[in-house]
Amino acid sequence: MDWKEKIDKDRLPRHVAIIMDGNGRWAKQRGKFRTFGHQHGVKSVRETAEAAAEIGIRYLTLYAFSTENWTRPKSEVNALMKLLVRTINKESKTLHENKISLKAIGNLDSLPDITRRELFEAIKETQQYDRMTMILALSYSSRWEIVNAAKTIAQKIEAKEISSADIDQKLFESCLTTNTIPDPELLIRTSGEYRISNFLLWQIAYSELFFSTKYWPDFRKEDLYEAIVDFQKRERRFGKISEQIIK
Ligand code: IPE
Ligand code: IPE
Ligand code: MG
């Protein structure tokens, strides 16, 4: 099936977010260590970024490491952090070639120095590109982000910059790490798990969800395109009734 051809270019989601899951099981199926799966997931990141940029997606957010992932065995966490440095380094070529700017959300202070340095360098080097923004969620969890936003607001009140009456959705959103990024219209999760795992809870209030049974290292361009075609078949009502929706 040529999914790309079926995409209506006028009705693209502006922002696609992906929970990249299943690296460990992919490796296990092949009798390898979990890190083997993480290594092979890099190709899927490259393919997905290229595929999204090719059709004109403006924002692509990838959940790469959650706050909860710090509780994995130390050896896996270390391997993931090392892989991250290598990948950012190697894949900066993909970013330049495709004119993709890099951003990151999450508790970046908790990353090892070298990882953070590489990350900030790649962010700086690509900031001029506006074809697509790729956002890596690193040491990210939505509850962490929401609690942080609440703290920021409390501090503004303490400093008498605002009063509690000023708190509304817009103000709250402006205190989230995603404040410059529109909400994702489409959220994809791979590996046949049907959960959100603490990802963008506020931002996905009205996102369409697409679950793929493929493990992340098997995810390719056509899989992204299939999800977008599926998204385009849906009627997004935002609480209204069907007759109220202008087609
Ligand atoms: C996703 O794959 C990558 C990260 C969470 C870092 P997993 O490592 O969760 O792989 P599975 O889900 O155990 O197969
Ligand atoms: C979610 O995957 C986090 C990332 C993809 C980075 P997990 O594999 O950590 O999620 P759970 O633990 O199965 O919910
Ligand atoms: Mg997993």
Give me the CATH number covering residue 38: 3.40.1180.10
For position 31, what pLDDT does the model report?
98
Task: Please give the Cα distance from 101 to 9 (Å, whole number).
Answer: 22
Tell me, using a 6 A CB cutoff, whether residue 197 lines ligand 2: yes
CA 68 to chain centre: 16
pLDDT (tens digit per residue) in 89-123: 999 999 999 999 999 999 999 999 999 999 999 99
pLDDT (tens digit per residue) in 137-186: 999 999 999 999 999 999 999 999 999 999 999 999 999 999 999 999 99
Q: Which residues line ligand 1 (CB under 6 A)?
A: 20-25, 65, 69, 80, 191, 216
* 127 inside domain: yes
* 178 inside domain: no
pLDDT (tens digit per residue) in 32-78: 999 999 999 999 999 999 999 999 999 999 999 999 999 999 999 99
Using alpha carbons only, give the angle 164, 170, 172 rounded to the nearest 5 degrees: 60
**Are the CB atoms for 32 and 106 separated by under 8 Å?**
no
Residue numbers of the domain that contains 20: 13-139+184-235
Report phi then psi at 133, rounded to 5: -110, 125
pLDDT (tens digit per residue) in 181-239: 999 999 999 999 999 999 999 999 999 999 999 999 999 999 999 999 999 999 999 99
Task: Please give the Cα distance from 102 to 120 (Å, whole number).
Answer: 9
155's CB contacts (< 8 A; 6+ apart) are: none
pLDDT at 246 over 90: no
* 95 inside domain: yes
* 171 inside domain: no
Nearest alpha-carbon partner for 18 in 68, 75, 76, 57 = 57
Question: DSSP secondary-structure letter at 30?
Answer: T
Instruction: Give me the number of domains the chain comprises.
Output: 1
Distance (angstroms) between ligand 1 centre and the Cα of 39 equals: 11
Instruction: Identify which ligand lies nearest to the alpha carbon of 62.
Output: 2
* 31 inside domain: yes
Q: What is the number of the ligand 2 atom nearest to the C-alpha of 195?
A: 14
* 52 inside domain: yes
* 69 inside domain: yes
Tell me, using a 6 A CB cutoff, whether residue 20 lines ligand 2: yes
**pTM of model > 0.85:** yes
Long-range residue pairs from 22-25, CB within 8 A, at least 24 positions apart, any chain: 22/190, 22/191, 22/192, 22/193, 22/214, 22/215, 22/216, 22/217, 23/215, 23/216, 23/217, 25/191, 25/215
Mean pLDDT of the chain: 98
β-strand partners of 59: 15, 133
* 199 inside domain: yes
**Backbone dihedral region for residue 168 (phi beyond 0: left; psi -120 to 50: alpha; all else: beta):** beta
Nearest alpha-carbon partner for 185 in 68, 56, 12 = 12
